[in-house]
Structure 1
Amino acid sequence: MIPFDEGRARLLLAHACESAGLPGPGDARLIALGENAVFDLGDPAVVAKVARGPELYDRAHRELTVAHWLAGQGVPVVRPYEALAAEPQLSHGHPVTFWHRLAPAVRPARPVDLAPLLRALHRLPLPPVPLGRRDLLAPVERWLASAEGQVDPADVAFLRHRRDAFAAALEDLVPRLHPGVVHGDALPRNVHVGPDGPVLLDLEFVADDLREHDLVVLALSQDRYGVPAEEYRAFTEAYGWDVREWPGFTVLRGARETASASWVAQQAASSPAALAEFRRRVASLRDGDTGVRWYPF
């Protein structure tokens, strides 16, 4: 398997730009490397997302469609680059999408900036395109398989067991909120605070599911990623409810922790820091210690 690293992503980006009739990416700036390699092309004012694998084509296509629909509903979201057709470019099988670059941020996003965006999202009817469920655990097998030979097989077996247990428990959850459109990865890093206010980014996981999905993310972030208690409290006050009061919180939180630990595995081959973080996360789950700090990638 060819590793998906910055060098590989740049080659894929160059091919996609050529196919799209865009200038060569030259010294495009890498913004993020995870499920996608995200690049700022500089000139034109476009951001490109290069997907890690061909299996992500449907998700990339749906993200473009959902972005157009949300913008039409008045939700502030990042906009696809309108000079291209509303479908991903294929670069050696990898889907690549292009987006208008936003104006520079006026400040870092805070948890409270998510509240009005989620309230607007959670009021929407279902779109005219099928969304599917927010299946947190569906990619776990792919992430773990990509790390074969790089991580301890016992850790892989442990995460697979957790995945199966939580998948069964999720089926029995009774929501407090009316199910519907959710963002699916509602974190401050997916909000850009520009001159006109907060804008919602990364729409790949928009789904039709329990609204609680969008609220558990920040509660977990307080425990695992160091979000201050006062910032979390400001978010819940602005949204109008604290998901920790919901009986299903522990199950949904556990499912998301299982997915988050498994996600890091796919970077273990190319990053010693990712391997160390994977081991940290699995150890804390084995110990049942919900207070161990995790570090983002």
Structure 2
Amino acid sequence: MTEGTAREVLGAAGFDGARARLLALGENAVFALREGPVVKVGRGQELFARAEHELRVARWLAEQQVPAVRPVRDQPSLVLGHPVTVWEPLPPPQRPTEPADLALLLRRVHALPEAPFPLPGRDLLGGVERWLGRAGEHIDPADAAFLRMRRDEYALAALEVKPVLATGPIHGDALPRNALVGPDGPVLVDLETFSHDLREHDLVVMALARDRYGLPEEEYRSFALAYGWDVTEWDGALVLRGARETAAAAWVAQHVPGNPRALAEFRRRVASLREGDHTVRWRPF
């Protein structure tokens, strides 16, 4: 899905697509409307159930008084084959989100009771086939086969890990970009991957941000201190990290058609995984 396609969907949904400001383009195109709500356009119809899940989670978090983005509409719409959800706008960030801000939000999430509806497990590797499929012939088939092999290996290995923390509700994609610091403190956004699984999943993300994306060591330490535990002290962290690295490499593939920067980054990530070189820094995409 290109930005132009997403704007066409906005217009068909009754919004002013031409004047909307693009905030993000990944699994969804996220737009801020002028003096109006935020609208998310999913890449394809296969993400409709995921959009329903995100709205259900958002309503529950509101009941639990967890600071998170709030929906305007309770159900997604399917417009030109794309799920569309509408959200309340958040105030402009007061400052950049720091890892410690995210850690405090995760403590809130990890203290939640069982949800009153079924939460899925964190299917971290479930999108690999979809992302590789979107790349099609634009990527080397050998690279795609390598990532599929890694996916299968880590999916099996993850079944054997023994957690330290109790399982329960998790955010599932706990990055600083998925929290905004407003006038009342940090607020969670992007709730599509909210799950019931190992809480360690939420903590490994920041360890990977340090090791692959160059998060300064002191910022990682502030995250671990604010949460109250360093997940890298746990043997299972290497397995969850490997699974997330596999997913992160495959995720870039969907952006490759027509985007040389995405192809270069995809190749960088796959090569570093093939070589087992954990010192190669990946570029955020």
TM-score (norm 1): 0.94
- 2:11 pairs with 1:11: no
Corresponding residue SS for 1:144: helix
- The 2-side partners of 1:139 and 1:267 are apart by 14
- The 2-side partners of 1:26 and 1:11 are apart by 9
Contact 2:8 2:17 in 1 (8 A): no
The aligned counterpart of 1:35 is 27
Q: Which amino acid aligns with 2:57?
A: V
User: Displacement of 1:270 after TM fit?
Assistant: 2.6
- The 2-side partners of 1:130 and 1:295 are apart by 35
- The 2-side partners of 1:296 and 1:118 are apart by 22
Q: Which amino acid aligns with 1:50?
A: V
- Aligned-residue CA RMSD (Å): 0.8
- 2:132 pairs with 1:144: yes
Structure 2's unaligned 5+ residue stretches are: none
Q: Which amino acid aligns with 2:138?
A: Q
Contact 1:40 1:47 in 2 (8 A): yes
The aligned counterpart of 1:112 is 100
The aligned counterpart of 1:246 is 234
TM-score (norm 2): 0.98
- The 2-side partners of 1:213 and 1:41 are apart by 33
Give the fraction of aligned pairs with identical amino acids, expressed as a percent: 61
The aligned counterpart of 2:61 is 70
The aligned counterpart of 2:155 is 167
Structure 1's unaligned 5+ residue stretches are: none
Corresponding residue SS for 2:136: coil
**Matching of residues 230-269 of structure 1 within 5 Å:** 230-269=218-257
- The 2-side partners of 1:56 and 1:68 are apart by 19
- 2:5 pairs with 1:51: no
Q: Which amino acid aligns with 1:66?
A: V
User: Displacement of 1:296 after TM fit?
Assistant: 1.4
Q: Which amino acid aligns with 2:161?
A: L
Contact 1:5 1:270 in 2 (8 A): no
Corresponding residue SS for 2:244: helix
User: Displacement of 1:291 after TM fit?
Assistant: 1.6
Between the two proteins, the alignment pairs up a number of residues equal to: 285
What do residues 105-157 of structure 1 show as CA deviations (whole Å, max 9, x unaligned)?
11010111111110010011121111110011111011111111100111001
Partner of residue 293 from structure 1, selected from 266, 277, 281: 281
The aligned counterpart of 2:164 is 176
**Matching of residues 80-229 of structure 1 within 5 Å:** 80-81=71-72, 84=73, 86-229=74-217
- The 1-side partners of 2:81 and 2:115 are apart by 28
